[in-house]
């Protein structure tokens, strides 16, 4: 006989407790514990014949090696982020702010796959079929091999999968889907965990590439338990300002490719359009002859991107100056300012410092340190940098400039866009021949870089 018991589960991290707690011991979140009913006994497990499998353990040396054939979409930026295309049988989680364009991206992707002869099933739990048809008319995403289903019951979705036999499937969104055997409300930790596991078994057994759309919290993380990101093969974040036209697609987890790749799209009336030259895009509105502006060559996965760094240093009357950054880690900004004060002699203790990455890009690479230092010094001294200079390099606490990788790709990207000088670490110049038409200036310390950039 099955039995029921009550437990309290955290909606943020999935921590379970037999009694209610105001503060979750797992994630330290307040008022996140919600009462749920758990069914124990023989009827607790519910797996249909579609998701049941029985395999024997095999020695690894007897397993045949094979290259997984990928499904290429008509969006090269999406293929880049996924590591070369969609892998059959993979489970992909896509997250992003409301209204950022997740449904638009996936509907365009579904249409591109249906156009090459694949069967695509688009499951929506948030919109009606008429709403999806209106968006498809606007995007031109009409195909007889693209099937639309508005359903939230996992068992009914399973029947539709059995009838359609799709090659690619989209579930929008996982927070709206529920399993009738779980007594919790849709979107709860138990429902999200169970439904994701159900779709994972279907994807692996039948070889259906499945995309799950996930809501995000106000902190920007995907809602639901952290286990959700561990269960899937790939986690993609769709980022960007709602009031700007550009969108960034990043991979934070990918079992079939690199997690450093970034895809760039532009939102227009006809949907999302690919941006093939992001460097030219980010530098299109760059002012010339203005202090505090520097161009840095950063690597986003396998692609070099030139981005403008803007710094503003102004005096303050408060005892504690402000340090604000957008696109760069705040702690990294404090470290760079400390090096400029101690090793270069710039008195910044009574100065507010603001650093911004133009275009809304987030740069996590240490190679942007030197460009940030040059931009801050340029604004502090009110002396503009050379308009055709590119700066990159990592800064150490003793004021030295450390070497970075892939300098040939960075310099070639700068040459392609018409830049004449590159200020870079001297240690990275060994065993490398610079291209013609670009002056390479190797520096060992931050002071050397400032003398070269602000001469």
Regarding predicted confidence, which is higher, 69 or 367?
367
State the binding site for ATP.
96-103
Give CA–CA dist 187/194, Å, rounded.
11
- How sure is the predictor about 210, in pLDDT bands with cuts at 50, 70 and 90? very high
- Per the structure block, which two tokens stand in for 296? 């840095």
Cα gap 441→444, rounded to integer Å? 10
Q: What is the pLDDT of residue 97?
A: 86
Query: 350-376: per-residue pLDDT in tens?
Result: 999 999 998 778 888 999 999 999 999
Q: What is the pLDDT of residue 242?
A: 65
Give the residue among 200, 247, 310 at the shortest CA–CA distance from 77: 247
Judge if pTM exceeds 0.85.
Answer: no
pLDDT in tens, 389-417: 999 999 999 999 999 999 999 999 999 99
**Residue 402's pLDDT is what?**
95
**What is the mean pLDDT of the segment spanning 154-168?**
94
Say if residues 299 and 279 touch (Cβ distance below 8 Å): no
Of residues 41 and 119, more confidence is placed in 119
Residues 6 or more apart whose CB falls under 8 angstroms from that of 3 comprise 39, 40, 41
* Per-residue 3-state assignment (H helix, E strand, C coil) for the chain: CCEEEEEEEECCCCCEECCCCCECCCCCCECCEEEEEEEECHHHCCCCHHHCCCCCCCCHHHCCCCCCCCECCCCHHHHHHHCCCECCCCEEEEEECCCCCHHHHHHHHHHHHHHCCCCEEEEECCCCHHHHHHHHHHHCCCCCCEEEEECCEHHHHHHHHHHHCCCEEEEECHHHCECCCCCCCCCCHHHHHHHHHHHHHHHHHHCCEEEEEECECCCCCECCCCHHHHHCCEEEEEECCCCCCEEEEEEEEECCCCCCCEEEEEEECCEEEECCCHHHHHCCCCCCCCCCEEEEEEEECCEEEEEEEEEEEEECCCCCCCEEEECCCHHHHHHHHHHHHHHHCCCCCCEEEEEEECCCCCCCCHHHHHHHHHHHHHHHHCCCCCCCEEECCEECCCCEEECCCCHHHHHHHHHHCCCCEEEEEHHHHCCCCCCCCCEEEEECEHHHHHHHHCC
Q: Are the beta carbons of 89 and 203 closer than 8 angstroms? A: yes
pLDDT, tens only, 89-143: 999 999 988 888 899 999 999 999 999 999 999 999 999 999 999 999 999 999 9
Q: Which residue has the higher pLDDT, 38 or 60?
A: 60
Q: What percent of the chain has pLDDT over 90?
A: 57
Q: Has residue 309 got a pLDDT over 70?
A: yes
| pLDDT for position 69 | 81
Distance CA 242, CA 217 (A): 16
Q: How confident is the model at residue 50 (pLDDT cuts 50, 70, 90)?
A: very low
In angstroms, the CA 132 to CA 123 distance is 10
Averaged pLDDT for residues 325-333: 93
Residue range 275-284, pLDDT digits in tens: 888 888 888 8
Residue-level pLDDT at 38: 67
The residue whose two tokens read 């048809």 is 133
Least confident among 2-16, 69-83, 151-165, 293-307: 2-16
Residue 44's pLDDT is what?
46
C-alpha span between 334 and 349 (Å, rounded): 11
pLDDT of residue 182: 83
Question: What is the model's pLDDT at position 139?
Answer: 92
pLDDT at res. 43: 46
Residue 6 binned pLDDT confidence (cut-offs 50, 70, 90) = confident
Q: What is the pLDDT of residue 245?
A: 77
**How much is the mean pLDDT over the chain?**
88
Residues within the annotated binding site? 96-103
Q: Which residue has the higher pLDDT, 28 or 448?
A: 448
User: Does the pLDDT at position 431 exceed 50?
Assistant: yes
pLDDT of 429 higher than 60: yes
* pLDDT band for position 225 (cuts 50, 70, 90): low
């Amino acid at each position: 006989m099955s039995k029921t018991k009550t437990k309290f589960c955290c909606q943020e991290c999935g921590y379970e407790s037999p009694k209610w707690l105001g503060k979750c011991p797992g994630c330290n979140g307040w008022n996140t514990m919600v009462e749920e009913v758990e069914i124990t006994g023989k009827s607790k497990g519910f797996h249909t014949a579609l998701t049941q499998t029985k395999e024997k353990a095999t020695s690894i040396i007897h397993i045949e090696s094979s290259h997984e054939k990928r499904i290429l979409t008509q969006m090269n930026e999406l293929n880049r982020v996924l590591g070369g295309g969609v892998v059959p049988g993979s489970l992909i989680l896509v997250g992003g702010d409301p209204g950022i364009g997740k449904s638009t991206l996936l509907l365009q992707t579904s249409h591109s796959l249906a156009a090459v002869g694949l069967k695509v099933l688009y499951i929506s739990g948030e919109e009606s079929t008429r709403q999806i048809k209106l968006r498809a008319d606007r995007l031109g995403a009409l195909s007889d091999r693209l099937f639309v289903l508005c359903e939230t019951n996992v068992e009914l979705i399973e029947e539709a999968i059995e009838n359609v036999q799709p090659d690619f499937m989209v579930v929008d969104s996982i927070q709206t889907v529920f399993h009738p055997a779980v007594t919790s409300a849709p979107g709860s930790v138990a429902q999200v965990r169970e439904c994701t596991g159900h779709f994972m078994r279907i994807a692996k057994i039948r070889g259906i590439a499945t995309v799950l759309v996930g809501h995000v919290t106000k902190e920007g993380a995907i809602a639901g338990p952290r286990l959700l990101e561990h269960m899937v093969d790939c986690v993609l974040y769709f980022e960007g300002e709602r009031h700007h036209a550009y969108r960034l697609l990043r991979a934070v987890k990918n079992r079939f490719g690199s997690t450093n790749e970034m895809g760039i799209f532009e939102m227009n009336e006809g949907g999302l359009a690919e941006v093939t030259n992001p460097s030219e895009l980010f530098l299109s509105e760059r002012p010339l002859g203005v202090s505090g502006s520097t161009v840095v060559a950063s690597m986003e996965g396998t692609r070099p991107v030139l981005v403008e760094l803007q710094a503003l240093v102004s005096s303050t009357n408060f005892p504690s100056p402000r340090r604000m950054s957008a696109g760069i880690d705040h702690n990294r900004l404090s470290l760079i300012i400390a090096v400029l004060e101690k090793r270069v002699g710039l008195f910044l203790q009574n100065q507010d410092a603001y650093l911004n990455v133009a275009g809304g890009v987030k740069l996590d690479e240490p190679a942007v340190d030197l460009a940030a230092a040059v931009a801050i010094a340029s604004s502090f001294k009110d002396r503009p940098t050379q308009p055709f200079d590119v700066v990159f390099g990592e800064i150490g606490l003793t004021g030295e400039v450390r070497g970075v990788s892939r300098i040939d790709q960075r310099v070639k990207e700068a040459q392609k866009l018409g830049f004449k000088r590159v200020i870079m670490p001297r240690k990275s110049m060994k065993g490398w021949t610079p291209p013609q038409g670009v002056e390479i200036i190797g520096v060992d310390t931050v002071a050397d870089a400032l003398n070269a950039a602000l001469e």
